[in-house]
Amino acid sequence: MHAARWRVFAVILTLSSLLLAGCAKSKPARFYMLTSGVGLQAGAPPAPGEKGISLTVSPIEFPEYLNRPQIVTRTSPNRIELAEFHRWAEPLGQSFARALTENLSGLLATERVVLFPWKGSGPVDFRITMEIVRFDGTPGGEVSLIARWTLLGPDGNELAAPRRSRIAVSTRQAGYEGVAAAMSEAVGELSREIVATIRGHR
């Protein structure tokens, strides 16, 4: 009788495990990307016969807490959460770098904006070095982007004092799609700040 009870218990335990596994698999992960050009207006093209500005963006340093597939949200100054079923379609650093270079290309009206190293002919006009200090947000709240960056000239000389950009963007859509959209907008705001500095040194 005792053995029969254990067999029944084992069957119930197995069925429960299968049921839980099925429930876990029934919730698919959703994937997100940053978008370039959010809220930005393209700059005026160069005059006929003139080349556009050439600009390279050095490898962007990202904090380790963002080097993961899950979207990171902040619940307090000292606490973050990982959204297990809401993930980036590619490493966030890559998505950020692509959105930034596409934004800069559009604002400066030039196709000569690339990630380091520069492969064009002749010296590059400008170079950007950058470190991301913070880049996260809260669904239904706001996104915060803090970046340290420096504008360099053709010889690697600093053309302006190192900048620390602090950008906050409210989420206008619900859920994690709203967070991704606000993060894209924050990258656009940073792009505008960089372009304004470049234009001040032309």
- Residue 102: name the closest of 57, 153, 162, 66 by CA: 57
- Position 187 scores a pLDDT of 97
- Position 8 scores a pLDDT of 46
Q: What is the pLDDT of residues 4-56, one digit of tens each?
A: 554 544 445 555 565 555 554 557 899 999 999 877 776 656 544 457 899 99
Domains of the chain by start residue, with CATH: 28-199 (3.40.50.10610)
Whether residue 153 is predicted with pLDDT greater than 90 in this model: the reply is: yes
Give the list of residues 6+ apart from residue 28 with CB closer than 8 angstroms, or none. Answer: 85
Tokens encoding 54: 């050439």
Q: Residue 6 and residue 4: Cα distance in Å, rounded?
A: 5
SS3 letters across 51-70: CCCCEEECCCECCHHHCCCE
> Contact at 8 Å (CB) between 185 and 169?
yes
Q: Residue 73 and residue 89: Cα distance in Å, rounded?
A: 17
Q: What is the pLDDT of residues 76-120, one digit of tens each?
A: 889 999 999 999 999 999 999 999 999 999 999 999 999 988 777
- Residue 194: name the closest of 13, 35, 43, 69 by CA: 43
